[in-house]
Chains A and B, each alone.
Chain A
Amino acid sequence: MTDDPTTYKHKDQEGVADRPLERKAVIRIRDVRKSFGDNHVLNGFDMDLYEGENLVVMGKSGSGKSVMIKCLVGLMLPDSGYIEVMGKEIATLDRHTLDELRSDIGFLFQGSALYDSMTVRENLEFPLRRHKEKLGTPSDTTALVMEALENVGLGRTIDLMPAELSGGMKRRIALARTLILKPKIILYDEPTSGLDPITAKEIIELMRNIQIKYNTSSLIITHDVDCARVIADRMVLLVDGINYAEGSYTELSQSTDPKVEAFFKK
């Protein structure tokens, strides 16, 4: 971890060397603890996500990655610790302020979480209806929906039901729904899990394009080493509930620490 939480000396990595060296932290997590009965999932976890970066968090199943990401948007409350998103401490926000903040955070769920009873159009309009200031006139809504769908290459699916879509298409539509409010931060929970390697590659490519097009900050939770290699500007390894190791893909993949090595063994 860097000493000053608000600045970040970017690691040398192919393709990102031209990015600015100093960045503002959009997410700050300090000493977060969360237990379920005797199961201590997070044991003082620390992490920062900086503006415009792709941060990958890797950890074994059940290591608390999803719990951590849910704490960031207030879906779960940590037992103790400090979580700040875009300068606001999550635990102190009232419902209205939290909802406003959430409109700047996109969340791609592991299973896509499309609303079964709604068409693709209604799925995409749903967050817009909640944030009326971004809705505009009905024609604007259609334009926004179409733009989001075109971004993921699925404009023709607008009137289909989620049950009529393949797993990869559902993930893309979910990504379009995430994008529709033009969030500043996107949280990806296992974006490639359950997908075949080709579709997974397409999703990763899409995530990269989105990051470049909208200059979003992305927090990606994954076990997929290939995904991490392609997309990570920086990586955090979550082991035993703490930030065990942090660095670029190259640095971590060359580590001789057995716990770190375990992640990169084929």
Chain B
Amino acid sequence: MSEISITKRVGSSLVGRAKHFFVQIGELSYFAGRFFREVFSPPFEFRELLRQCYQMGNRSLVLVGVTGFIIGLVMTLQTRPTLVQFGAVSWMPNMTGISIVREIGPVITALICAGRIASGIGAELGSMRVTEQIDAMEVSGTNPFKYLVVTRIVATTLMLPLLIVFGDLIALYGSAVVENLKGDVSFQLYFNTVFDALGFGDIIPATVKSFFFGFVIGLVGCFKGYYSKKGTAGVGIAANTAVVMASLLVFVVDFIAVFVSDIFYEL
């Protein structure tokens, strides 16, 4: 194959991917617009919303808790020797506290939820689409977008901040366990130091961005599942691409959030 034809093929493939990317962004934006149009108009599906909050919140607790505990534990174990070397081990609670609350806790929890919740929503709605359950809902006089999509996006938006707070606390506890065993620091002293070090500037931006993390995870999961193509292969693709896209968007939202909060600090 000549060099020119290889270049042409690579070029057209890149153009195709770029086109697909922008089409997806456009469709996702339209989907988000439809969500905002429908979320404030009756009828409100409170029963389904509560069910979704339970499914997403309660059923993610163990996963978020275990991961948070291990993250706190490992982070402290790996950082401690360096801080000991510099004689700065007393800064350990401040350092872990700020890094967990500001960044590591929210992002790790959001990524876990992108894996668990976005893929779950993508697969569930995808299979409902394939088996005509969404059509059956529509025919029975229910607005499936409102019943399935709006409730799930609102549930993830409300539940993710709670899961992040829970994950942060467990991660701090994991860190405190290491400090207690290796540095003879009591739990009370550890947590007092952590909370002394934390200010509103650490907590508020982290909390605000966690709502956005929840929103994008729900949005992407629903978008991929709701427009899943026919066939069981489509369900797998919907679940898979929902995780990839949601994880990517978590980082994009995180970048924007840090950028915006930095502007506020400088003012």
B262 close to A (CB within 8 Å):
no
Q: How far is the CB of B141 from chain A (nearest CB, A)?
A: 4
Chain A 174-189 interface residues, beta-carbon cutoff 8 Å to B: 177
B131 close to A (CB within 8 Å):
yes
Contacting residue for A113 out of B135, B142, B143, CB 8 A? B135
A73 close to B (CB within 8 Å):
yes
Contacting residue for B140 out of A110, A111, A130, CB 8 A? A130
Q: Are B131 and A111 in contact (CB under 8 A)?
A: yes
B140 neighbours in A (Cβ, 8 Å): 102, 126-127, 130, 177
Of all chain B residues, which has the CB nearest A100?
Answer: B141
Q: How far is the CB of B152 from chain A (nearest CB, A)?
A: 13
Q: How many residues of A contact B (CB 8 A)?
A: 23
B139 close to A (CB within 8 Å):
yes
Q: Are B141 and A131 in contact (CB under 8 A)?
A: yes
B131 neighbours in A (Cβ, 8 Å): 111, 113, 116
Q: Are B132 and A109 in contact (CB under 8 A)?
A: yes
Q: How far is the CB of B239 from chain A (nearest CB, A)?
A: 15
Of all chain B residues, which has the CB nearest A180?
Answer: B140
B62 close to A (CB within 8 Å):
no
Contacting residue for B141 out of A103, A110, A115, CB 8 A? A103
Give the complex CA separation of A127 and B137 in angstroms.
8
B136 close to A (CB within 8 Å):
yes
A147 close to B (CB within 8 Å):
no
Q: Are B133 and A115 in contact (CB under 8 A)?
A: yes
Centre residue among B128, B135, B139 by max chain A CB count within 10 A: B139
Of all chain B residues, which has the CB nearest A76?
Answer: B135
Chain B 104-146 interface residues, beta-carbon cutoff 8 Å to A: 124, 127-128, 131-133, 135-143
A99 close to B (CB within 8 Å):
yes
Q: How far is the CB of B73 from chain A (nearest CB, A)?
A: 37
A75 close to B (CB within 8 Å):
yes
Chain B 143-173 interface residues, beta-carbon cutoff 8 Å to A: 143
B124 neighbours in A (Cβ, 8 Å): 117
A8 close to B (CB within 8 Å):
no
Q: Are B141 and A109 in contact (CB under 8 A)?
A: no
Centre residue among B132, B140, B142 by max chain A CB count within 10 A: B140
Of all chain A residues, which has the CB nearest B135?
Answer: A75
Of all chain A residues, which has the CB nearest B143?
Answer: A95
Taking A99-B141, A100-B141 as given, write out 18 further A-B residue pairs in contact, using a Cβ cutoff of 8 Å, ordered by the A residue number. Answer: A75-B138, A75-B139, A95-B143, A102-B139, A102-B141, A103-B141, A110-B132, A111-B132, A113-B131, A113-B135, A114-B133, A115-B136, A115-B137, A117-B124, A126-B137, A126-B142, A130-B141, A131-B141
Residues of A that sit less than 8 Å from B by CB: 70, 73, 75, 95, 99-100, 102-103, 105, 107, 109-111, 113-117, 126-127, 130-131, 177
Residues of B that sit less than 8 Å from A by CB: 124, 127-128, 131-133, 135-143
Can you list the 4 inter-chain pairs with the closest CB atoms, starting with the nearest? Answer: A113-B136, A127-B140, A99-B141, A113-B132
